[in-house]
Amino acid sequence: MDDKMDSLEDAKKSKSPPARPPPPAKVDSSDILDLQDERTPPKHQSSFGNLEIPLSVQKHLDELRALQKHRVRWFYKEGKKWVPFNGRDSLVIEEEWLALHNQDPDSDIEKCYAPTVRGRLYEVDIKERVCCPLYWKEYSEPTKIMRGTWFKGSSSNENWEPIDEHDAEKIEVGHQGVVRSLGVGSVEMKNSEQTVMEVLKLAHGYRVEWRDINDIRMVHQGTGSLLAKSIGIGGSSKLVRGWHTDATVIDDLPEINHIIFLIHGIGQLMYQTGGIIHSAQKLRDATNKVIERHFKDTFKDGRVEFLPVEWRSSLKLDEGLVQAITPNKAGGLRKIINETTMDIMYYTSSFFRNEIKKSLREQLNLIYSKFINRNPDFLTRGGKISVISHSLGSVIFHDILINWNDQLIDEHKQQADKNIATEGRWSWIWGSRRRKQPSESIDETAQQSDEYSALQERLRQAKEDVADLEAKLFAGKSTANTDTQCSERGHDFSLGFKIENAFNIGSPLGVFLVLKGIRPRDDLEQHILPTSVCSRYYNIYHPADPIAYRIEPLIYEHYSEIPPVQINRATRLSEKEIEDEGVKVESSAAGWLKSLWGMASKSPPMVAEYHADGQVQLPKGECEKTDTILKERKALRHRIDYTLEGGLVEIISAITSHMAYWESQEFVRFVLKTISAHERDSMYAIGL
């Protein structure tokens, strides 16, 4: 009986259903948030162990999280417009902002108290919400910056506008409340009736309406918006949380491999908001246009950067005495003269000349030192330095180079150029050529040729001996004489870097050299431009610029018969077009004005091949003409004088032509091609 009962119990047990598994543990939304990685998981699902989160839940959780740093975008204000920083700049600013708010202690990007942005030219103060330039003075208010988290979106990404930070914080709080009210796991709403779930009032008559978790609108409460809404054209702007493009560290400008110092001329005091600063920005804008059009692939691995040098504002000079003696009548005109042409008078005065040169030299060395401290690998990467000097600035800079070369001579440096004419060394003032007197006949001249050649050789040797004696004399001369360029010794005239290219624009250097007594020579390659401290010189001018003068005829007089090399306009589409275009038909007005200025020409624009060693190969016709002039005469190894094409507007206004270089795309194109050609070993043919 007992056995039967046991078997019956076993049968009952075998027929009973299996035990149910225990219910899954309840998952709280906060636990899920703690488990999530900062990066956005795949859109279809998120996995944590064996737990799969539906898409609707994931979207809900994403809205509850703080906005990820790569979706935040920082902006700087340019005029009335907010301009987005690039991805790298936005990330480094956001990293510092998070560090200040203790929200991201484990940053994978090196933190710095003041991040450098905009090509490493500006420094950010996050607490003050400003960024300031590192290498020049900001004459206007510091550039404002803003953190963007909410944006007025549109179909075009270019038209997105950031919402003010204060309003964005309110919108974020309101958005979090709306999302939390839906509950975890709520599916995306399908609000067919467009009912408003939540309304948030902002300042200036604006309100924010939540019609859906993904349909958020900013509406103005004015009559215009109500009228627009009543006729069915909306009257509202869509709001979007997070920037349309993720910020990445690779979204950055290339490193700087060539810096160009910009030296201003007269009139810096007249521009209370910073004349050379604005000129530098104009040059950058023109450069960006030219690179986009002609150099897309040339500067991908390294870029050219312009650094303005302001030497005038820090100088006191007459301590205000000129202003004190200025009559009140015609005060506006007198003020302009005092702030412009007086700079020329100051520099021609032996009392102020050295002070002006010292100011420019110190500013150049200071900016270079700052740059190298922040870019210590610049030189090891092959970085180079050039200078663009305008108007009087080219004269001052040339004198600094001459003084620097004199210093090298005094220090017995091998690289010193001993053939350079110096104001204190009078043996260089007179040229060695002998002009034929009107009374001399050809036969008499021929008979005296042997004697003349012998005298010329003796004179040349004597000048070299005198130059050596002068170098020794001035090396030990007292520093009390401030009237000579050799009045200061030591390293007072040296720069901390060698110049690769010196571009003079609108330069009166030629006439200054003439007034110093410099004359053409026919027994030297050149005696004006010291190659010991500067590799190449370019004298670029507009044909209508009344301030600019040529240099080449002052080296070899017969170059007055050879025209300067013409730089063609950069606005043409291709080199082929320049070659095919030839002579353009001028209007009667333009032709008359060009004739008035002595610019009329029937010859086509000069299209040349420019080689890496600086040689300029002219067209065949120009070569034949030049060869005829240079027959049995010395030729320059490198051309120096270049001219821009004259436009009608610039011809009418001489003042405009003197200041037109900063916005000239043809000038920028010439500079960029010069730099890129010199930085390559192979020959680079271009159309000038």
Q: For residue range 355-378, what is the model confidence (pLDDT) as tens digits?
A: 999 999 999 999 999 999 999 999
Token representation of residue 376: 């210590």
Q: For residue range 152-172, what is the model confidence (pLDDT) as tens digits?
A: 987 777 889 999 999 999 999
Residue 278: pLDDT over 50: yes
How does residue 132 score in pLDDT terms, banded at 50, 70 and 90? very high
Distance CA 450, CA 111 (A): 78
Q: Where are the beta strands (DSSP E) in 163-241?
A: 198-201, 206-212, 215-220, 236-241
Token representation of residue 648: 């009608």
pLDDT score recorded for residue 433: 42
Distance CA 544, CA 675 (A): 26
Query: 653, 659, 544: which is closest to 271 by C-alpha?
Result: 659
Residue 493: pLDDT over 60: yes
Share of the chain above pLDDT 90, in %: 33
pLDDT score recorded for residue 588: 35
Distance CA 600, CA 590 (A): 10
Other Cβ atoms closer than 10 A to 675: 19
- Residue 138 dihedral angles phi and psi, to the nearest 5°: -90, 115
Distance CA 666, CA 567 (A): 7
Average pLDDT, whole number, for the chain?
Answer: 75
Residue 574: pLDDT over 60: no
Residue 34: pLDDT over 80: no
Query: 488, 623, 641, 487: which is closest to 553 by C-alpha?
Result: 641
pLDDT score recorded for residue 261: 98
**Cβ-proximal residues to 412 (8 Å cutoff; 6+ apart), any chain:** none
**What is the helix, strand, coil percentage profile of the chain, to 5?**
40, 15, 45
Q: Choose between 388 and 231: higher pLDDT.
A: 388
The reply to whether the predicted model has a pTM over 0.95 is: no
Other Cβ atoms closer than 10 A to 484: 17
Distance of CA 666 to the CA centre of its chain: 16
Distance CA 165, CA 129 (A): 11
| Local structure of 497: helix, strand or coil | coil
Q: Choose between 198 and 161: higher pLDDT.
A: 161
Distance CA 221, CA 235 (A): 9
Mean pLDDT score, 48-64: 66
Residue 439: pLDDT over 70: no
Q: Choose between 227 and 398: higher pLDDT.
A: 398
Q: For residue range 509-519, what is the model confidence (pLDDT) as tens digits?
A: 999 999 888 88
Distance of CA 193 to the CA centre of its chain: 54
Q: For residue range 234-277, what is the model confidence (pLDDT) as tens digits?
A: 568 899 999 999 999 999 999 999 999 999 998 887 776 678 99
Which of 153-157, 384-388, 407-411, 578-582 has the highest average model confidence (pLDDT)? 384-388
Residue 548 vs residues 84, 249, 435, 542: alpha-carbon distances, Å? 41, 46, 28, 8
Residue 470: pLDDT over 50: yes
pLDDT score recorded for residue 333: 81
Distance of CA 113 to the CA centre of its chain: 25
Mean pLDDT score, 72-77: 96
Give the single-character DSSP code of 161: E
Q: For residue range 313-345, what is the model confidence (pLDDT) as tens digits?
A: 888 887 778 878 888 887 778 877 877 888 899
Distance CA 514, CA 509 (A): 9
Distance CA 582, CA 211 (A): 65
Q: Choose between 63 and 443: higher pLDDT.
A: 63
Distance CA 148, CA 162 (A): 5
Question: What's at 371, amino acid-wise?
Answer: F
Distance CA 601, CA 645 (A): 12
Which sign, positive or negative, has the C-alpha torsion 541, 544, 545, 546?
A: positive
Which sign, positive or negative, has the C-alpha torsion 427, 429, 431, 434?
A: negative
Which sign, positive or negative, has the C-alpha torsion 370, 373, 377, 379?
A: positive
Q: For tokens 């400003």, name the residue.
A: 130
> Of all helices (H) and strands (E), which one includes residue 288?
helix 275-294
Distance CA 159, CA 440 (A): 80
**Cβ-proximal residues to 435 (8 Å cutoff; 6+ apart), any chain:** none
pLDDT score recorded for residue 621: 54
Question: What's at 346, amino acid-wise?
Answer: Y
The secondary structure of 69-93, three-state, reads HHHCEEEEEECCEEEECCHHHHHHH
Residue 103: pLDDT over 60: no
Q: Choose between 617 and 326: higher pLDDT.
A: 326
Token representation of residue 303: 């870029």
Which of 252-256, 531-535, 570-574 has the highest average model confidence (pLDDT)? 252-256
The DSSP string of 345-375 is HHHHSTTTHHHHHHHHHHHHHHHHHHHHHH-
pLDDT score recorded for residue 95: 93
Residue 101: pLDDT over 90: no
CB 362 within 8 A of CB 488: no
pLDDT score recorded for residue 280: 94
Distance CA 250, CA 87 (A): 7
Alpha carbon distance, N-terminus to C-terminus of the chain? 119
